[in-house]
Amino acid sequence: MKISTCIVIVLMSMLTSCDRSAQNMSESPLDDISPGSGLMDKWPDEGPELLWTYEGLGKGYGGPAVTNEGIFINGEDNGNSYTLKLDHKGKLCWRSSNGKEFTGIDYTASYPGTRSAPTVVEGHVYASSGMGQLSCFDAHNGALIWTSDLITEFNGNLGDFGYSESPVLDQKRIYCFPGGSIHNIVALDRMTGDLAWSAPVNQDYFSYSTPVLVDLPEREVLIGTSRNYIHVLDRKDGQLLSNYTLEDIRYGYEHCNSVVFLDEHVYFVASEKHGQGTVKLLLSSNGKSLKEVWRNNKLTNIFGGFVIVKNRLFSTLESRKLVGLDINNGRIKSSVRAVSGSIVYADAKLFIYGHNGMVQLFKLDQGKPELTSEFRIREGSGHHFSFPVIADGVMYIRRGHVLMAYAIKD
């Protein structure tokens, strides 16, 4: 089955969000880069045409997974987690239960709802709830194929803001981070849900991000973050190959951005309360060495994600700037005014969905962003935390219980 877009989830510590979703079973880029061409360079003053809205999602921050078969998305209703399938015109096809959903306690009760996006592969939909229930559904009719509970089955450690990673899988296995001292990271058979291996790794708490799958010259690895490390695991058996220590970790500012792997290097952007800021690491061909190349303490964000386009790394700052780093030396090469929010790239353009509800379009001119259009999201309710998803000339934006589809192709 053709996958129309590749998006993933990123969730923060104090807040929640999603940034990527549908992916295939080969090497997973998880880089917020969407395919497509012929997208508009400029939108009408009132924004692009709103094709349709679907208002029955329930609470949540995770964006949709868009494939030829339909649109798949998670939502919370009355404390329960659901995975929904819509057709490409926004009509509900099915809704299937996935156990209890994260609703929070005290401060975290301000951020209830689903945290992640489903992953769709070969007629199967894999979805994870904020309470750690991982399920596999039939993509055609929503029938449950198998389910696993990361807390009860693997003594998982539920974080303050719930499980937030999107399912990541290859040809054989799906990889999960229960966060327990014994079953820290586990791999399950993707067709049955049976345990393939369990590894204690660093016995560290999970972070609120999604790992990536990388095929190195000498082995296949999983690269992700825990609370105190960036780690590299052998996907065959969960062996810890190498670590990079994350400095000055403070409560309430856990890791939410996923790493990006490109040309033998691992890139990561941490929140403003962390020591490294943005880092570039060199990963050896066997995965056993992970060494820092440079760091830039000025570029930080909690959960807005980042994209790498040619030799530039782009991300937004809480100070309402869009900055571009030279990935060769880590120095800032451009800085323009922009909303602070989630960022994706498609067709030589940057799309930013701000935490204030403003959506901005930047055209890249020789690596420098130029603001060409903006409009405000008024549908839905609650926080503006989701990542835009771009597929087949349509931009999908989720706000709370509403999914919106905008026409952005000429």
The pLDDT tens digits of the residues spanning 266-315 come to 999 988 766 689 999 999 999 999 999 999 999 998 889 999 999 999 99
pLDDT of residue 366: 82
pLDDT of residue 273: 67
Please check the confidence at residue 229 and state whether its pLDDT lies above 80. Answer: yes
Q: Are 360 and 352 in contact (CB under 8 A)?
A: yes
Taking the C-alpha atoms of residue 358 and residue 180, their distance in angstroms, rounded to an integer, is 39
The model carries a pTM of 0.92
CATH superfamily of the 49-407 domain: YVTN repeat-like/Quinoprotein amine dehydrogenase (2.130.10.10)
Residue ranges of domains in the chain: 49-407
Please check the confidence at residue 205 and state whether its pLDDT lies above 70. Answer: yes
Evaluate the CA torsion angle 322, 165, 309, 235 in order and state its sign. Answer: positive
AA letter at 107: Y
Taking the C-alpha atoms of residue 214 and residue 177, their distance in angstroms, rounded to an integer, is 17
Local confidence band at 31 (pLDDT 50, 70, 90 cut-offs): low
Taking the C-alpha atoms of residue 377 and residue 360, their distance in angstroms, rounded to an integer, is 11
What is the DSSP code string of 109-127?
Answer: GGS-SB----EEETTEEEE
Instruction: Specify the higher pLDDT residue, 367 or 304.
Output: 304
* 381-397 pLDDT per residue, tens: 999 999 999 999 999 99
Q: Residue 17: how many CA atoms within 13 Å on its side-chain side?
A: 29
Task: Give the mean pLDDT of the chain.
Answer: 90
Taking the C-alpha atoms of residue 241 and residue 230, their distance in angstroms, rounded to an integer, is 11
β partners of residue 371: 362
Tell me what percent of the residues of the chain surpass a pLDDT of 90: 80
Instruction: Indicate the Cα dihedral angle 183, 258, 27, 349, nearest 10°.
Output: 160
pLDDT of residue 253: 67
pLDDT of residue 367: 82
* 106-142 pLDDT per residue, tens: 888 889 999 999 999 999 999 999 999 999 999 999 9
What is the DSSP code string of 206-257?
Answer: B-SB--EEEE-SS-EEEEEEBSSEEEEEETTT--EEEEEEPPS--TT----S
pLDDT of residue 34: 79
Local confidence band at 41 (pLDDT 50, 70, 90 cut-offs): very high
CB burial of 362-375 (b: ≥16 within 10 Å; e: otherwise) equals bbbeeeebeeebbb
